[in-house]
Structure 1
C-alpha cells in the first residue's frame, strides 16, 4: 500500500526553518521560491525578526496556525530539535535539506514515522510539484510531464537542460537524499498516481529495498507511466572475493538489469540518454517491428541514416514497386524512391511533399516507423511562402497517427517546435534519433515478466561443504549422478559405482586448475592410482567419486542473494570456461518454468541447445527444471549467499548436476 504524500506535494501551508537573507544559503534560495506561490508560508529564523522583508518567528512552535510541510535547512546540530518542533505542532511532512547527521538520522526518521508523518531526505535538494504550484528547491526547473526522483541534485539540474531543449520539463521533482524515511519506491508509487505525470525519471545510488522499488516501478509501467532509470556503479563487481563463478558474474550492474527487465524499467547510462529516451517515450508509440523507412532531403544524410539503422539491427527494406511508384508521384524524376527516399531538391519546389510522403509511408504496411532526416525546419529561411508552407507541413506531420521520428540540423526552428508540440520526437543528431527508435522498438517487443514474490523462509542450512550441498540440493529435486564421499582407501574400495568414474578432490574451490579432478577412470586399479596421486599432491580433506555422465552441452546454473533485490538467477554456458565465455543471462528469482526456458533460449549460444549443424537438440526443459529448483531453494533460504551448479550436463535425454557449491552469508 502506497503512503499518503499529500502533505509533501500539495501542502496547504509551508514553513521554512532556517530562512535567510544570505544569498549563499539554502534557507534563502528555498524561501525565495516558496514565496512565489499562493499558499501560506511561514519563515522561521531564531535571531532575525524579518527575512526577505517578511516577518519571521523564532521557532516552529511559535507559528500561528497549522503547518502541513516544514523544510528544515538549519545546521546539523539543530536539525533534530527542529524536527521535534515540527512534530509537536502536527506537521505531516518534513523536507530535510540539512546534511551531516550521521547515525542520528535513523532515530529522527523513526520519530517521524511513529508520528504518522514522512521525511524526505535528509541531505536533499528539496521538492517541487508544478500541478500544485509548490516550489521548494534551490533551482528553477522547467515545468512539464516528467516526474524526476533523484539522489543527486546536480543530475536533476543537468537533465533539465536537454529536457527543456526538447520542450519537456518536470511535473514533480523529489530529491531523495539519504532516504532515511521516504525511499525511491515510495516516490515512484506517488508519481505513478499523479495525473499530471506521464513518465518517471529516476537517478538512484542506493535502492534500499530493491524488490519493493521494482514492484513500484512495475505498477507504474502497468499504469502507462514508463520509468527510466539512471543507475551508477554498474561496471563494478559487487562480490570481488566471490568463491563461485556465479558470484563474479552476477555483478551489481547485472542485478539492476535483471530488476529492470522484470519491472519494465528502461535503463540508461547518462542524463543525455535519459532525455532522448523520455522524449521518445512521451511522443512516439513503440513500433510493431524493426522495419524503417528513411525519408531525407539529401543523399548523404539518407545513406548515413540507413547505415546507422542497420548498425543498430534495424531493417531498411526495399519498397515494393507499388509503394515506390506512390512515392515517386510526389517527387522530381531524379529522386530516390525505393528506401531510403531522397527528395533530390523537391523540398524547395514543393514543401508540402514532406507531409504527403510521410503520410504515404506511415499508412503503408511495409514499414513500422519513419525516420525523417535532414534539413527540414530550415526552408523557412528562404522566404515567407516557404516558411508558411513548412509550418503547415509540420502541423500535418504532427497530426499523423504513424510512428515518426525526426532528425534535423534545424532542431531549434519554428517547424521543429511545431513537431514537438504536436507529439513528434525531434533530435539534433541522427545517431540519437536511431538510438531512441531502437530503444522504442525493443520496448514494444518486451513483455515484462513481473517481480516474483519471495516465499517464507525455511529452516536454515547448516554447513556448506560439497556433499552437504549435494545432499541438500538433491532433496530439493536437483538431479546428480550416483556417487560417494570417501575419506579413506577402504571407503573408496567400498563404493559401488559403474565405470567410468570421476574422482574429485574436495575442499578446493579451484580443484580443476590444480589437477584435482580426474576424469574417465575406467577400472578399480586406475581409481586407486588416481586416489594416491591426488592424496599425495593435494592432501584433500576428502574426495568424491562419481559416475561419469554423458555431456552434450555444459551449463552454469546458479543464484546469488543480493542484499537489495533478493535472489538473482544466473543461466549460461559453463564448465571451466564460464567466466571466459560470459554467455549468460540473469533474472530476479524465483523463476517459473517458462521464464527459465526463456532465459536459456536467449543465450547467444542457444543454437547449441536447440540443434546446430546436425547435432540433436538437448533437453531444455530438464535444464529449466534445474534452474527453477535452484531459484526456489535460494528464495526460501536467504542464508545462502550463492548457489552454483557448474557444470550442468545437458543431453537430449535430460540434465545432471556434475558439481555443486554453496556459499553461506557471513
Structure 2
C-alpha cells in the first residue's frame, strides 16, 4: 500500500513537548528524558514559559517561538488548556498532536463539548489528533518513545490498543521474553480524530511492521475498520483480542436475527471474515504475533510432531486435534529414512518419538526435522520435549552439537517454506538464566514455548493465516441493482407510515430479485381464501395472518397448517382473524396468506439480516424453525458476502453434519443454499432501508429450497410520513 498520510506524525522528525517539566514524576519530563536517552535523532522543542532549559535542552516559552513547522506535538497539559493549545498548534503548522489528558467525551456531556471544541480547532488548522485520553505512542525504529517504557526491543510487531494497562502487559511480556521486538505503538484513546482504521492503513504501508496486534474494546466505525482490515490482512497478519465476550445481545430486537446477534458473536465472525487472527486468551496474543512475524504461514493443517518422549508425543497429538490441526500421514520413504537414523524403539509413524535416539547426539534432531519437512504431506513441524536443554539435562559436552543442530533447524523454515515451533521444558526460564541452547533456538528465529498448548495455538494461527490468504481470492460480489417491486413496496410503506413489509409484499420483492419462492396468495375474506386454495391446486396449504401489527404470527394464533379442504380453509380464515383480534387490540389486518405447505423432510434453516450499529448489515445463518432462539446454532458475516463466505457459514454451524444427510438421508443442495444467501446479501446491499430480515424456516432439500416465512422490517428513518406525523418509530 502507498504510505499513509500519518507517516510524518507517527514517524516524526521533530517533536514539541508542550508542558515540559523538571519534575521527574511528570510526563513532560519522562518523555523528554526518554527521547534523549534513546538517542532520538530529530529536533526536540520543550515548551515551558517558566524554564530556560530542561535536561540540557533549551526551552521555548510558547508554540509561537518554534523556528518552523513541527511534525508532532506531545500535549502534557490539563484538558481545560487543550483547545487553546491545539489552536496554537494549528497556527504554527504542527501536523499532529498526541493529547494525553482525560476529561473529554469519556467524562460526560461537558467533556464531549470540550472534545468537540478541540476537534473543531484541529480541523480548522489541519492538525491530526491522537487521543485524547491516550497513553501515548512510541516508534522504536525512530527512537521516539512518548510513553516512557524502558527496555523496548526494536522489532516488526505493531501494536494498537484501547487500554494502557493491556499495552503495559504486552510490553512487559515482550521484555520478559527477550526476543520479541515491537515497531510502533499507538494508544487509541477516545478516537476523536484519527480512527482505528487509519492506524491500520498506516501499518499497512509501514516497512518496519509485518504483523499488527490490536486490543479492541469497541469500534466507533466498525464498517471502516473491516474495510481497512481487508486491505492489510492479505499482506500483514493482524492479531485481534476483542474484549467484551460476555455482553448480551439486543433483547429489544423484533426478529430472530436481531435477538441472536450478540455483540461478541457478531464481532468474532466479521473480524475473522475480514482477515483477523483472533486471540481468545490474553497470554496467547504475543506468542501468536511472534510466530506470524517470524514464520511462513501453513499451506495446510497437516503437521508432523517430533518428540523425545511418548508422553509429549501423545499430548501434542491431542492438542493438535483439539485445535483442528491434523497429523500428516508420512510416506514410506520418510519412515524408512527415519528408521535408519533412530533406535529400534523409536516410533516413525507420526507423531515421531525418537525414543532416546537424541540423548547422546542432539544433531539427530536436525536430521529428523529435515527428513520430515522434505515429506510433501508435511506442511509444518512441532518439536516437543527437552530440545534446547540437552546440555543441561545430560552433559555440557552436548552443548556444541545442540547449537549446531539449532542453527540447521533455524534455517529450515526459509529453506522449505514450512514453519517450525518448539515446545521445550526449558522454555519458561528467564532470559538471563536460560541455558545457551534455548537462547540459540530463539536467535535462530524459531519460537520457543514452555506451554505445549501455546505452541500449538501458534501453529493454529499460522494455519488460519494461510487460509485467510486463500479465502481472499474470492472477492465479494458487486452491489446489485435495486428491484422495481421493492421500490413500489417502499413507496407504499412510506405512504402508510409503516416499517413492516407485509409478507406478500416481501415475497413479491424477493421473486422480483430473482429468488425462487413458492407461490402465495393474499385473501381478504373467506371467499377469496377458498379461491386461493383452488388456484394453487396443491394440498395441503398453510394459512397465515398478514398484519403490520403482528410480527410473531404463531404466538397470536395467526397460523393454520396442513389445511386440505375448502371447508377447513373457510373456517381457518375465520379462526385466524378471530384469534388475532383477541390477541391484539384493534389490529390492522391486510388479509390471510394462503401458500402450499413445504414438502416433508428437508432441514429447517434460517437466513436473516440485522443492521449492527457498528458493522452495518450482518447476515445470520443457522438451524431454523420454532426452536431457533433456544438452539442458538447460528453464525454471522458482514455484508456483502461472497459465495466462499456462504460456504464457510454452512460449515461453521455446530449441526453442519445434518446438511450432509443423516441416517442415509441425502445431503441438501449446498450450491442452491449458497447462491440464495448471496442473493439476499445483494438485496440488502441494494436496499439500505432494510433494517431486519428473517427468512425462517427455510426448508433445504437435495434439489432446492422452500421459504416458509418472510419478515422484513424497514429502518425508522426510511419511513417519512407527513410533516405533522414525522417519522414512525
Structure 2 SS opposite 1:349: coil
Report if the CA contact (8 A) 1:11-1:69 is conserved.
yes
Structure 1 pair 618/291, CA: closer, same or farther in 2 (3 Å)?
closer
Q: 1 CA distance for matches of 2:409 and 2:259?
A: 50
| Counterpart-to-counterpart distance in 2, 1:105 and 1:502 | 58
2:604: which partner in 1? Answer: 554
1:640 corresponds to 2:690? yes
3-state DSSP class of the match of 2:627?
A: helix
Please state whether the residue corresponding to 2:21 is helix, strand or coil.
coil
Q: Does 1:158 align with 2:195?
A: no
**What corresponds to 1:124 in structure 2?**
134
Distance of aligned partners of 1:555 and 1:182 in 2 relative to their CA distance in 1, 3 Å threshold: same
Deviation at 1:556, TM superposition (A): 0.8
Q: 2:200 touches 2:232 (CA, 8 Å); kept in 1?
A: yes
Cα distance, 1:325 vs. partner? 3.6
Q: Is the 8 A contact 1:451 1:588 kept in 2?
A: no
Matching of residue 437 in structure 1 with residue 449 in structure 2: no
Aligned pairs (5 A) from 1:327-338:
327-338=338-349
Aligned 1:218-257 pairs, distance under 5 A: 218-222=230-234, 224-257=235-268
Q: Deviations over 1:252-278 (max 9, x none)?
A: 223323333333211112332211211
Distance 1:409 1:93, change over 3 A: same
Residue of structure 2 in register with 1:563 after alignment: 613
Q: Does 1:518 align with 2:560?
A: yes
> Is the alpha carbon distance of 1:137 and 1:76 closer, same or farther for their aligned partners in structure 2, counting shifts above 3 Å?
same
Equivalent residue in structure 1 for 2:334, among 323, 326, 344: 323
Name the TM-score, length of structure 1 as normaliser.
0.92
Describe the shift of the 1:455–1:191 C-alpha distance in structure 2 as closer, same or farther (beyond 3 A): farther
**Cα distance change of structure 1 residues 293 and 117 upon mapping to structure 2, 3 Å threshold:** same
Matched residue, 1:205: 217
**How much has 1:355 moved relative to structure 2?**
1.4
Aligned CA distance change for structure 1 residues 658 and 445 (closer, same or farther; 3 Å): same
Query: In the alignment, which residue of structure 2 is the partner of 1:427?
Result: 449
2:290 is equivalent to residue 279 of structure 1: yes
* Counterpart in the other structure of 1:297: 308
Shift of the 108–453 alpha-carbon distance from structure 1 to 2, 3 Å rule, reads: farther
2:248 and 2:332 mapped to 1: Cα distance? 54
Tell me how far apart the structure 2 counterparts of residues 456 and 324 of structure 1 sit (CA, whole Å).
59
Residue matched to 1:67? 70
Matches of 1:127 and 1:266 in 2, distance apart? 23
How far did 1:85 drift? Answer: 0.6
Please report how far the alpha carbon of residue 567 of structure 1 lies from its aligned counterpart in structure 2 after TM superposition.
1.8
- Structure 1 window deviating more from structure 2 (143-152 vs 77-86): it is 143-152
Task: Note if 1:528 corresponds to 2:529.
Answer: no
CA 1:284–1:54 in 2, change beyond 3 Å: closer, same or farther? closer
Counterpart contact for 2:441–2:448, Cα < 8 Å: yes
Matched, 1:651 2:701: yes
Contact 2:525 2:573 in 1 (8 A): no
Partner SS for 2:32: helix
Q: Is the 2:240–2:276 Cα contact (8 Å) retained in structure 1? A: yes
Deviates more, 1:514-523 or 1:536-545: 536-545
Query: Is the 1:630–1:643 Cα contact (8 Å) retained in structure 2?
Result: no
Pair 1:652–1:388, CA change in 2 (3 A): closer
TM-superposed CA distance for 1:155, in Å, is 1.2
Residue 476 (1) aligns with residue 513 (2): yes
1:617/1:342 CA distance change after superposition, 3 Å: closer
SS in 1 for 2:146: strand
Q: Distance in 1 between matches of 2:475 and 2:120?
A: 31
State whether structure 2 residue 204 is matched by structure 1 residue 185: no
The CA deviation at 1:193 is: 0.9
Structure 1 residue aligned with 2:723: none
Report the Cα offset of residue 156 of structure 1. 1.4
SS of the aligned residue for 1:43 comes to strand
Q: Would the aligned equivalents of 2:21 and 2:29 in 1 still touch at CA under 8 Å?
A: yes
Could you tell me how far apart the structure 1 residues matched to 2:355 and 2:223 are? 54
Call closer, same or farther: CA 1:465–1:2 in 2, change over 3 Å: farther
CA shift at 1:166, angstroms?
6.0
Residues 404/622 of structure 1: CA separation in 2 closer, same or farther (3 Å cut): closer
Report if the CA contact (8 A) 1:292-1:314 is conserved: yes
Task: Tell me if the contact between 1:297 and 1:344 (Cα under 8 Å) persists in the aligned partners.
Answer: yes
1:100 partnered with 2:103? yes
1:217 and 2:229 aligned: yes
Moved more, 319-328 or 284-293: 319-328
Separation in 2, partners of 1:429, 1:597: 34
Deviation at 1:422, TM superposition (A): 1.8
Q: Which residue of 1 aligns with 2:324?
A: 313
Q: 1:43 aligns with which of 46, 61, 79?
A: 46
- The answer for the alignment partner of 1:501 in structure 2 is 541
117-126 or 545-554, larger mean C-alpha shift: 545-554
Displacement after TM superposition at 1:405 (Å):
1.3
Contact 1:9–1:134 under 8 Å retained in 2: no
2:502 maps to what in 1? 466
Deviates most, 615-624 or 391-400: 615-624
What does 1:319-468 align with in structure 2 at a 5 Å threshold? 319=330, 322-381=333-392, 382-400=394-412, 401=415, 402-411=418-427, 412-446=434-468, 447-448=471-472, 449-450=474-475, 462=493, 463=498, 464-467=500-503, 468=505
Q: Which residue in the other structure is 1:34 paired with?
A: 35
Q: State the alpha-carbon separation in 2 of the partners of residues 57 and 183 from structure 1.
A: 32
Corresponding position: 1:78 with 2:81: yes
- Alpha-carbon shift at residue 335 of structure 1 (Å): 3.3
Distance between the aligned counterparts of 1:414 and 1:451, measured in 2?
A: 50
Residues matched between the structures, number: 665
1:277–1:439 CA contact under 8 A, matched in 2? yes
The question of whether the paired residues in 2 share the 8 Å contact of 1:9 and 1:132 is answered with no
CA contact (8 A) 1:469 1:661 kept: yes
Partner Cα distance (1:25, 1:456) in 2: 59
Equivalent position SS for 1:277: helix
Unaligned runs of 5+ in 1: none
1:327/1:616 CA distance change after superposition, 3 Å: closer
Change (3 A) 1:650 1:298: closer
Cα distance in 1 for partners of 2:12, 2:350 equals: 56
CA distance in 1, matches of 2:158, 2:644: 35
Quick one: structure 1 residues 38 and 288, their matched pair in 2 at CA, closer, same or farther if it must change by over 3 Å?
closer
Bigger shift: 631-640 or 447-456? 447-456
